[in-house]
Amino acid sequence: MYIKEIAVFLVVFLAAKYFWRKRRFFYLASKIPRSNFDFSWKGIYEFLTADSKKIFEQIYGSVKGMDGIAKTWLGPVLFVIANDPEDVKIIWNSKECYDKPYFVKFPGIYEGSLFGSIHAWQTHRKILDPYFGNQKLKNFLPIFDEKSKVLTRKVGEMLGKGEFDVFHYMTALTLETILNAMELNVDIQNLEVKVRDLTIKGLERASKVVTKRIVSFWLHPDFIYKRTKYFVAEMKAKSHSAFTYVDDVIENIRQNIDSGEEVNIKPTSFMRALLDSKHDLPREEIVDEIRTLLIAVNTSALAMSSSLLLLAMHKDAQNKIIAELHDVLGKSPNAPFIDFEKLSQLQYTEMVINETMRLMPVVPFVARRVENEVAVTKGYIIPADANVFVPIYGIHRNKSIWGEDADQFRPERFEKENFQKIHPYAFIPFTKGPRMCLGYRYAMALMKVQLANFLMQYEVDTSLKYEELEFELNITLNVCQGLRISIKERK
């Protein structure tokens, strides 16, 4: 007869014990201002039932115009939002914030350097770091040039056919380029169109499902998620993605090595470094690292496609970039090999890419986990066990940093005399600090080579209007209308 009373007492006792143990956590959290997120029942319901477009709009709206730090709760999970570049600098350089939140592993890549634990990041970074220096980059330029010229020829099939989404072509290029750099000769660009698109769209569909899981806290526990339609959809999407091809290739190589057969992989390749027996990396870590590299380099496809779209919308910038390309590379539509010296001379091209990544950062939001308390500006202290959320998209469009024209496309803001006035942590497309993207030089070089080859051959146009662009969040930032351009031979 006392079972009900005992149950109530236990619940109250355990709750009181929890809040007492976490009293410092809740005290520090209470001192942090609330974000602009709508915490009404209606606001919470709309967020949890929103599609990817509404999710992006609500997240950006909750931080737009804010300075300093703010807080929001996703169910029981505390997020501290860092809007000030100085706070971002402190957080990203603090050893207390090197780790990633548990939900960052939802894409299914557990021990790569991008999503993995501190141990995995430190171990893999030490192995791969020598392969991303300037000297090694010079060795990759012939691969970049060859593959970008293949893409330029492939895109020619769309001459006179109206608008098309250039992202699928760029994705095939970036995937094939990184695989060739690893000596994994997977010819994605020349796959049959249906197979190629299925391979690429598999990753896109999986990303949508993972994004839905991240913002739906009740789907975080595996034992719940694996009993939902979302898990089935994610597994189906991944089974037809580029991961499938790569996993098969890796498995064949490992079997050959285990059986003592000679493996034809150059000592200078990423793959050889990961497979080197002296590192003794488990198969799962090697697979996760290569998947990480695929995802990381695929963000370059999105940035290149976005650059072409913005150039199609801004003909003055397109004319300026062509003038620079003609000055550095000559006026022949068939661009010569772009060596390291010529690459460094494409300064306006780099400004266009940077301005594109400012306005349309591929990864619009980044999260870190706080291991122990971290003091930031204005006297605030972020409590241990909180998650720090850095709204890259919001910082990149903050008018107090970039001026009243922050939402406009103006590559000239990256001229040296203009950019040196900007806080170094106000432009963070590759993040910064110790966990900064390892391959940022690789990505920038690939983008410059591809844009040069593409624009020397084709003039780009689009019916889309810049002010009408809408965005959705699928882990990466996507344009709802698609990255649609049309091309014609450049005269």
Q: For residue 97, say whether it is annotated as part of any ligand binding site.
A: no
411: pLDDT strictly greater than 70: yes
What is the pLDDT at residue 263?
53
Query: What proportion of the chain, given as a percentage, has pLDDT over 70?
Result: 83
pLDDT band at 255, cuts 50/70/90? low
Between 418 and 279, whose confidence is greater?
A: 418
User: Would you say 410 and 418 are in contact if contact means Cβ atoms under 8 Å apart?
Assistant: no
What is the pLDDT at residue 192?
46
Task: Give the burial string for 430-462 (b: 16+ CB within 10 Å, else e).
Answer: bbbbebebbbbbbbbbbbbbbbbbbbbbbbbbb
Task: Give the burial string for 77-89 (b: 16+ CB within 10 Å, else e).
Answer: ebbbbbbbbebbb
pLDDT band at 232, cuts 50/70/90? confident
Helix (H, G, I), strand (E, B) or coil at 167: helix
What is the pLDDT at residue 205?
74
What is the pLDDT at residue 289?
76
Instruction: Round to the nearest angstrom and report the end-to-end CA distance of the chain.
Output: 90
Mean pLDDT computed over 327-350: 88
User: Would you say 354 and 413 are in contact if contact means Cβ atoms under 8 Å apart?
Assistant: no
Query: Which CATH superfamily does the domain covering 3-26+71-489 fall into?
Result: Cytochrome P450 (1.10.630.10)
Mean pLDDT computed over 1-27: 81
66: pLDDT strictly greater than 70: yes
What is the pLDDT at residue 195?
46
Mean pLDDT of the chain: 83
191: pLDDT strictly greater than 60: no
Query: What proportion of the chain, given as a percentage, has pLDDT over 90?
Result: 38
What is the pLDDT at residue 240?
61
By CB atoms closer than 10 A (0-12, 13-18, 19+), residue 271 is buried
Count CA atoms closer than 13 A to 162's CA, side-chain side.
2
- The Cα–Cα gap between 245 and 250 comes to 9
Between 369 and 64, whose confidence is greater?
A: 369
What is the pLDDT at residue 194?
46
Mean pLDDT computed over 168-185: 75
Count CA atoms closer than 13 A to 202's CA, side-chain side.
17
Mean pLDDT computed over 89-113: 81
CA angle, 144 as apex, 138 and 148 as ends, to 5°?
155
pLDDT digit string, tens, across residues 20-60: 888 899 999 999 998 887 666 666 777 777 788 888 888 88
161 DSSP 8-state letter: S
- Number of C-beta neighbours around residue 227 at 10 A: 10
What is the pLDDT at residue 259?
58
Tell me which of 90-104, 230-244, 258-272, 383-397 is least confident: 258-272
pLDDT band at 441, cuts 50/70/90? confident
